Amino acid sequence: MKYGLFGINFGPCADPDAAVRVAQAAEAAGLESVWTGEHVVLPDPQVAPSPVPPHVPMLDPAVSLAYVAGATQRIRLGTGIIILPQRNPVVLAKELASVDVVSQGRLIAGFGAGYLEPEFVALGAPFSDRGARTNEYIEVIRTLWTMAKPQFAGRFHRFSGIDAHPRPVQRPHPPIVIGGVSPPAFRRAVRQCNGWYGFALTAEETAGCVRQLAEAGRRYSRPATLGNIDITVTPRAKLDADSARRFADLGVDRLVVTTRATTVDDMLRLVDTVSALVAARVH
């Protein structure tokens, strides 16, 4: 089991010095990765399904991870997740390739389709076709990261006669992880991505998602170049050795823990909790 820490770019870790302190502690404790969240804007006042109040500070994922990369050496850097259909994928490919370069190959690129319509409206991004855009934008990014002479002709983007350097350090490209618990998300995981990320799930909910991933694997073909689906979960409840084993028994490869931290000390205590699982080799 690999262990990661969620929230390196918001709340107390929106302070860059705090983020570095937490990331360095996580690296020293043997955690595999730190992860960002993303909302460009949030509804004010907060209304469901908005996950946090609008005043919660949240740094841009690429900026945050690039800053943390300069203060760490080994720990992996995950976007968990970037809301892909809100972005220009050509620009985003450059931003994330840059993170992979400055971190010397430590990026995990996590994407999702999004669900907060007020956020899409504020950004001028279409909400109704966000699924189709997510599918296409993944391929746009992969094309720019891997093709010797990038060219693409899709519904939303079309280009040829261009190039984009530097390429990511990781080959053929940084791992691409898709978030979400809908049938389209499971289909994307099988057909397009190296991994799948389920956020704030119980073990029972995770078991259902694993079954749906397996069903999607039977229904849709998976390119051999993607390898096995790497399963990442952020548990909803507090994690201990017994619950970690339950997730491991379900086939989860990575647990990315989170807490309702209000101070950097809260985050550091969470690092200590997870480091005990790392030391106990719970898997």
Q: Give the CATH number for residue 272.
A: 3.20.20.30
Domain that holds residue 263: 2-180+236-251+259-279
214-225: average pLDDT: 97
| In contact, 257 and 234? CB cutoff 8 Å | yes
**For position 24, what pLDDT does the model report?**
98
Q: Is residue 230 part of a domain?
A: no
Alpha carbon 153 to its chain centroid, in Å, reads: 26
- Is the pLDDT at 283 greater than 70, yes or no? no
| In contact, 254 and 233? CB cutoff 8 Å | yes
**For position 281, what pLDDT does the model report?**
75
Phi, psi of 259, deg, nearest 5: -155, 160
Q: Is residue 205 part of a domain?
A: no
Q: Is residue 122 part of a domain?
A: yes
- Is the pLDDT at 217 greater than 80, yes or no? yes
Q: Is residue 13 part of a domain?
A: yes
When divided into structural domains, the chain yields a total of 1
**For position 213, what pLDDT does the model report?**
98
- Is the pLDDT at 232 greater than 90, yes or no? yes
Q: Is residue 212 part of a domain?
A: no
Q: How far is CA 146 from CA 7, 89, 150, in A?
A: 30, 14, 8
pLDDT digits over 39-81, tens only? 999 999 999 999 999 999 999 999 999 999 999 999 999 999 9
CA quadruple 104, 108, 109, 115: dihedral positive or negative?
negative
- Is the pLDDT at 282 greater than 80, yes or no? no
- Is the pLDDT at 175 greater than 80, yes or no? yes
Could you tell me the two tokens for 153? 């002709």
Of 61, 177, 65, 185, nearest to 114 by C-alpha is 185
Q: Is residue 101 part of a domain?
A: yes
Q: Is residue 37 part of a domain?
A: yes
**For position 280, what pLDDT does the model report?**
81
116-138: average pLDDT: 98
Q: Is residue 100 part of a domain?
A: yes
Global confidence as pTM? 0.97
